[in-house]
Structures are given as structure tokens and as C-alpha cells.
A and B are shown apart, each in its own frame.
Chain A
Amino acid sequence: MRVSLADMEPGQSGVLVEILGGHGMIRRLDALGLRLCKRIRKVSSMLMRGPVVVEVDGFQVAIGYGMASRIILEIMEE
């Protein structure tokens, strides 16, 4: 199942399959270790379209809601 990071439930994990953004956004995410094929776990999201916190490679990254809704993951069933 494909879903955006913004729509994912906290606690769910997935593999990053698509970034719906320009070159600049892809580069900025890449610098923080968020790139295609990475396994990502959503830690939490703030209320009312606040930022999303994810864990990638054992550390946390906060991502604004707008950006998070353009990051698409394939959910892993456990």
C-alpha cells in the first residue's frame, strides 16, 4: 500500500518510493539521509497539520506537513 508520510499512522514503517518534489527538495532530503529505498518509521505528527517526525537510520528528522505529504512510502506489513 502506498501512502504519503503525512497520512501514515505514527508507529508505521515504510520504504521511501517516491518524492513528489523538485530538485531542491530532493537534495535537501537527501542531505538528511532521506532518499529512495530508505526504510523510514513515522514517530509522531503534531496536531493540526504540524510537522511530522520520522526515524531514519536510528535518528529523528522533523519534516513540515506540506513536504511530508509529498513523500510517498510503501507501507511494510508486519
Chain B
Amino acid sequence: MRILLMGNPNVGKSVVFSRLTGARVIASNYPGTTVSFTSGYMHLNGKRVEVIDVPGTYTLDPTSKAEEVAVQMLEEAGPDDVVIIVVDATRLERNLNLTLQLLERNIPVVVALNMWDDAKHKGISIDVQKLEEILGVPVIPTVAVSGEGISDLAARISEARTGNMDPHDVEERWSHIGNIVTQVQKITHRHHTFRDVLEELSVKPISGLPMAAAIVWVAFKIIRFIGEGLIGYIFDPLFSKLYAPLMMRLSALLGGAGFLHDILIGKLIDGEIDFTQSFGLLSTGFYVPLAMVLPYVLAFYAILGIMEDFGYLPRLAVLLDNVMHRVGLHGQAIVPTILGLGCTVPGALASRILETRRERFIVLTLLAIAVPCTAQTAMIVGLVGKHGGRYLLIVYGTLAVLWLGMGYILNKVVKGESPEILLEIPSYHLPPVIPLAKKLWMRMAGFLKDAVPFMLLGIVLMNIFFTTGLVDLAAKVFGPVITRMMGLPKTVIVALMMGFLRKDVAVGMLAPLGLTVKQLVIATTVLAIYFPCIAAFVVLLKELGIKDMAKSAGIMLALAIIVGSLLNLLWRG
């Protein structure tokens, strides 16, 4: 037996899912598609039962890839499988469309009437008993965000039945739905609430655009505040007060020099370990991902998670749809772009919400070129920022111009058109803490799993490159481009090589090179543009395919050289 969780998008289906299942959930792709779904397990009458969170769908007559997958998954359901359909009680009429379509099929169904509290607030009352009678299947009111009704829902899964609905055509079904709604639903008039007002204001351009600017500004302020706080008061003291003495003892034990010492501890600087410059496995290898990058990543995902679950992102998508169309994208492309500011990998995966290949090519190429991840930003802010904010402005201003400019060009050059936006805007909700924490935890675990091994590998490889003289060879080959065109010293080649592995480390490697501010700015900008890190590269390759990835990579390399040279040329002083 399996349980398929189905429902319209934005009905709280994923929250019901996380309430029903334990901590161990797996996200996978539906075979042959880029549509992903999650599955987990719940205990039901002493048995372990698989629960599948089917992609959200409005209808079983599919209008998009995700909906096709939802229908396919339903059609593959075995004889003892059960569907829980999650219904938004505040949008009963539209939700009953999918419910009736499901009841017309020969599969046992239970209805979770979710957002029950919201319906009450909106003055909507639904006669549950009556609805149960009409549909012929159990109907359970739930409030997934608080967990209310979830145990009732679980208890009544065994009562799932095939409904008593005859197949209808579209017209008949809607008139049938109309009948049901008049019988079970009563709406009492109520005054506009603060939430209604807020929802309207945030999609009106006059109020919405300043709000968006304020929200984004505040979000970044908070991220910086949390990130710097965590570094300054927790992570850095931990490393310098507790960890450093331990490492110094190990260093002494290893004799203070030699191959093993250099790999593990790195080079001592003035007889001390410098966590950003020593470049040993146990020193820089742990300090950079844990004490420099992790705090910002944590802060970023905490704030992003709140914005996502509050329901703000679709509104941002609507407000920016116009701008996004100028660069050949759809308002919804703002979601992968914002995620990309955290890390390119989830950003690239989120590009799947875009329907056409053309849009995905544009958004992914822009993501790789002009959207630095939090890890990289943390290092750039640390390194360039200490020379003054205006240098940061040059780096990020250049990237922003590049994003817009390249988008504009790609929109003209890449064949095809980007479809128009058509999007339901969910109500604002105060996000519940536990699912938020769960999501944050999964993202952090993902970051550590990606970052630490590559970081350590990178440090070993760097040491090997140096001892084998590979660096000198690369410096000879690429030297002219770097020195003559970009005005950088040859030694920067090491950081550029490192950039293939991890961008944050690569930026960190610029620290001991003694660059001028101008060189530092050029080097960090070029590093941001020229190629994604290995983890992002693998995902981009999977998403784009070899041919498009090659095109995308060509654009990146060309742009890196052009932008680096231009900056060098235009910047006097």
C-alpha cells in the first residue's frame, strides 16, 4: 500500500506531507523528466507505509509538465493504493474540480479539508458532514501548519473509499460543483482584514515596488547582521581560542614544516597559523567553510525560507515580470535567481519551474555568470569590503550590468519566445516553525555535504599543483591574458584554477598575493564570471545537456576575459 498526496498548488500539501512523515524524506526525479517529487514513510496500524508528495496539479487534464507527471503517477497507482487529496477550504469551488475528477476514477480517496482555520477567519463555513455525504468519502478538516486534525486524518486513511461520482464532461462537472458549493458552503460577509489590505498593496506597482525594495534591503541587512554576529561571537572565537592552540600543538608535533605538515596544517605565517592563508587541510580546510561561509549560508536560507513560506516570492515574481521579460524571462525566473544567490546548485534545480528550454538556458547562463553564491559573497565582502564599500559596489554593479546586458542579448539571440505569466498568488501565511526548521536543516546539511569534501580536495590538489610545477606551466600558457589584458600578476592563475573547485576558496587564495585594490576587484569579478564551481558545473551540465553547456561555458569564458580587460582599461589609478 502507498499513499499518494495530491492537491492544487499552494494548498499546504507539503506541510501535510511533513506532518505525516518522519524526518527521512527523499527527493527524486520522475523518470525521464525534470519534475521532482518527495517521498517518505509513515506508520499506519503498525505498518510502514510509503507516502508520496505528488506534484501539485489543478486538473487531471494536464496543462503543464508537472501536471502530466501527477497524472502519470496516479495512473500507475496499484490496487491497494490510497489518495489523500488536500483541499484548500478557502478555495473550495476550484479545489472541488480536482476532487471530483479524482472521484470519477476508480481509486480510494480521503479528503483533507486544509486551511480550516483560515476559512473560519474569512467567514467561510463548510458543512463537513454534508460534504462527506455528497462525495461519499471521508472529509477531515485539518490545519496542517498547527498540526490540528492530522491525527484524525491518519486514523481515517483506512476508511478511504472510491467515491460515488459518475464521469462528467467539463460543463457538467462545473455545474455539479456549483450545486455542491451552494449546499455545503456559507459565506458570511466580513470586513477587509489587515492581511487583505497587505495582499493588495503588495501587488500594486505604486506601493508594491517600494515594498519590494524595502523587503529585499531589510532581508540583506538581517542576513549580514546574523552572519557577522555568528562569525564574530561564535565561530571565530571558537577557532581562535579553542582550535588554534590545539593545531599549534599538532604543528609542533609534526616539526613545524615538511610535506605532511604542509598538507595538514599548511604554511605557518610569522610562526602562527593563519586560518585564511595557511592552506592546510585542518586549518583553512575547516575554517573557510565553517567559520567564514556557513554563518552566511545559514542566515541566507533562514531568511529565504521565511520569505518563501510567507508567500512573498510569487508577488515579487509579478512585480518583476516586466523587467524579467526584457531579459527573455518570466517573472517566476526570479525564484531560481534568488536561490542562486544562496548557492547555484539549488538555483539551477529551481529553474525547472520554467516551462521552456529557452528560458532555462537563459536563466542558467545568467545564474552562472552574474549571480555569485553566498559562499563567494561572504569571501568577497570579507576581502574587498575592508577596502571600502565602493569597491564592493564596483564588483556587484559590474555583475548586475552584466546580468541585465547579457539577458537582453540572449533574449534577442536565442530562438523562441518566453511564455506569459499565469500564476495563482497564494495568501500570506505566518510560516510554522517546525517545517521551516526542517527545511533549513536539509539545506544546511546539503551545503556541508557539498562544501567540506570539495574544500578539502581542493586544498590537497593545490598543494600537489604547487609541488609538481603544474602551476608554473599554467601561468606560462595563460600568463599573457592575465597580465597584459587584465593587469593581474601571474600568481592569480592559482586562484583561477582553484575557482573550478570552489569559488569561496579561490577568492580566499587572493588574500596572500598582495594585490592592489584594483587588481583585487578585477580578480574577484573575473572569478565570479568565468566558470561555475565543480558542484554547480555538474548540475548545470545535467540540466542543460552537453551542447548547451558548451555554449554557456563559451559565453562565460569570453565574458570573463572581456570584462576583466575592460575593467583594467577603464579604471585609472
Contacts and interface: CB of A to CB of B under 8 A. Distances in A.
B331 A58 contact: no
A2 interface: no
Contact of A51 (B90, B331, B419): B331
A28 B422 contact: yes
A61 B317 CA distance: 12
B421 A32 contact: no
A30 B424 CA distance: 12
Question: Which interface class (under 10, 10 to 19, 20 to 34, 35 or more) fits A?
Answer: 20 to 34
Contacts of A53: 203, 318, 425
B321 A62 contact: yes
A43 B90 contact: no
B425 A61 contact: yes
- Which has the most chain B C-beta neighbours within 10 Å: A29, A50, A57, A61? A50
B319 interface: yes
A57 B420 CA distance: 23
A3 interface: no
Interface string B453-467: 000000000000000
A58 B124 CA distance: 11
Most chain B beta-carbon neighbours within 10 Å: one of A31, A32, A43, A49: A31
A62 B421 contact: yes
A63 B97 CA distance: 21
Of B94, B419, B426, chain A has the most CB atoms within 10 Å of the CB of B94
Given A53-B318, A64-B420, A27 B425 contact: no
Interface in B401-428: 419-427
Contacts of A28: 63, 422
B318 A57 contact: no
Contact of B322 (A10, A31, A50): A50
B421 A51 contact: yes
A67 B322 CA distance: 14
A62 B59 contact: no
B425 A24 contact: no
Interface string A16-56: 00000000100111111101000000011111111101000
A76 to B, nearest CB: 18
B93 interface: yes
Interface string B304-345: 000000000010011101100000000100000000000000
A43 B200 contact: yes
Contacts, number: 96
B321 A67 contact: no
Nearest to B124: A58
B421 to A, nearest CB: 5
B203 A58 contact: no
A51 B324 CA distance: 12
B58 interface: yes
Interface string B57-97: 01101010000000000000000000000000011011001
Given A24-B63, A44-B200, A53-B425, A59 B319 contact: no
B439 interface: no
Given A46-B318, A51-B318, A62 B61 contact: no
Given A10-B204, A57-B93, A62 B322 contact: no
B224 interface: no
Contacts of A51: 318, 321-322, 331, 420-421
A48 B322 contact: yes
Contact of A67 (B97, B314, B331, B420): B420
Interface in B20-38: none
Contact of B199 (A35, A45, A60, A63): A60
A32 B422 contact: yes
A32 B204 contact: no
B170 interface: yes
B16 to A, nearest CB: 19
A65 B318 CA distance: 11
Nearest to B181: A57
A66 to B, nearest CB: 5
Contacts of B93: 33, 57
A27 B424 CA distance: 15
Given A33-B93, A46-B318, A59 B420 contact: no
A21 B205 CA distance: 27
A45 B318 CA distance: 10
B63 A61 contact: no
A58 B91 contact: yes
A39 B91 CA distance: 15
Nearest to A64: B420
B425 A46 contact: no
Interface of A: 10, 24, 27-33, 35, 43-51, 53, 57-67
5 contacts: A28-B422, A44-B200, A44-B205, A51-B318, A62-B331
Complex A-B, nearest 8 residue pairs according to Cβ-Cβ distance, in ascending order: A64-B420, A31-B58, A50-B322, A60-B425, A33-B94, A44-B204, A62-B318, A53-B203
